[in-house]
Amino acid sequence: MVMTTHEEKMRTVRFRVAATPHIVLNSEICRNQCSVHACVYVCPANLFVPLDDGGILFNYEQCFECGTCYIACNQEGAIDWSYPDGGYGVTFRES
């Protein structure tokens, strides 16, 4: 199993899911002011899903907490980014 799908990759990572999301999207901005939707492409965990209405759906549960999305996001304020509560979120075992 050298070549792996994204789902197979994500299955090897352990997440302890916090009760509340640590990243919040302002979907209004995504819908009305952003045509690039860079987050959809760059997120290594593929957590940003474009919606029919031009908005973005975000799933925080499998987040690597890397910060790529808010760096790539060209619209100020569309992504409110922080870390999950202490002890929650991703836990790497070997990387």
Partner 1 sequence: MRIAVCLKYVPDPSTIEVDPLTGMIDAGRALYMMNPADESALELALRLRPPSGTVTVFSVGPVEADHLLQDALAAGADAAVRVWDDSLNNTKPIVTTILLAAALRVQQLPDLVLCGGHSVDRGSGTVPALLAEYLDWPVVTDVTQFELQSGRMRVQRRLARGARAEGEVTLPAILGLETGLVHLRQASLPNLMRAKHLLITRYGLEELDLSPQDLHFPAMTLHEVMPPRPRARVMFTPDSTKSASERVAQIMSAGVSGKAGKILDSGTPEQQADAILTFLLEQGFLETRA
Partner 2 sequence: MTAPPAKEQFDVIIVGAGPAGSAAALLSARAGLKVMLLERGEYPGAKNVSGAVFYGSAILNELIPNWWEHAPVERHICRRDIAFMSPTTSVALDFHCVGDGYGTAPYNGFTVLRPKFDRWLAAQAEAAGAFVLTSAVVDDVLRENGRIVGVRVRREQGEIYGNVVIACDGVNSFLAKKAGLQRTFHPHELSLGVKEVVGLDPAIIQDRFRLNDNDGIAFEYLGAITEDVHGGAFLYTNRDSLSLGVIGQISSLVERRKRPYELLERFKAHPAVAPLVRGSKLREYSAHLIPESGWAMKPKLYTDGMLVAGDAAGFCLAAGLYLEGMNYAMQSGLAAAETAIAACARGNFSARTLAAYQKHLKQRHVSTDFRAYRHAPSFVNGPRLQNLYPEMVACGMEQLFRVDGAPKRKILPLAYRMARQFEMKPGQLFRDAYQVARAYLW
Nearer to partner 1, 9 or 16 (CB): 16
Q: Report if residue 93 touches partner 1, rule: CB under 8 A.
A: yes
Rounded to the nearest whole angstrom, what is the least distance from the CB of residue 66 to partner 1 in the complex?
A: 20
Rounded to the nearest whole angstrom, what is the least distance from the CB of residue 78 to partner 2 in the complex?
A: 14
> Using CB under 8 A as the criterion, what x/- string covers residues 71-90 for binding partner 1?
--------------x-----
The answer to whether the beta carbons of residues 47 and 62 sit under 8 Å apart is: yes
Rounded to the nearest whole angstrom, what is the least distance from the CB of residue 1 to partner 2 in the complex?
A: 5
The answer to whether the beta carbons of residues 75 and 34 sit under 8 Å apart is: yes
Q: Looking at 17, 66, 77, 80, which residue binds partner 2 (CB under 8 A)? A: 66
Please give the full DSSP string across the chain, using - where no structure is assigned.
--S--HHHHHHTSEEE--SS-SEEE-HHHHHHT-S--HHHHH-TT--EEE-TTS-EEE--TT-----HHHHH--STTSEEE-PPSTT-EEE-S--
Q: Report if residue 64 touches partner 1, rule: CB under 8 A.
A: no
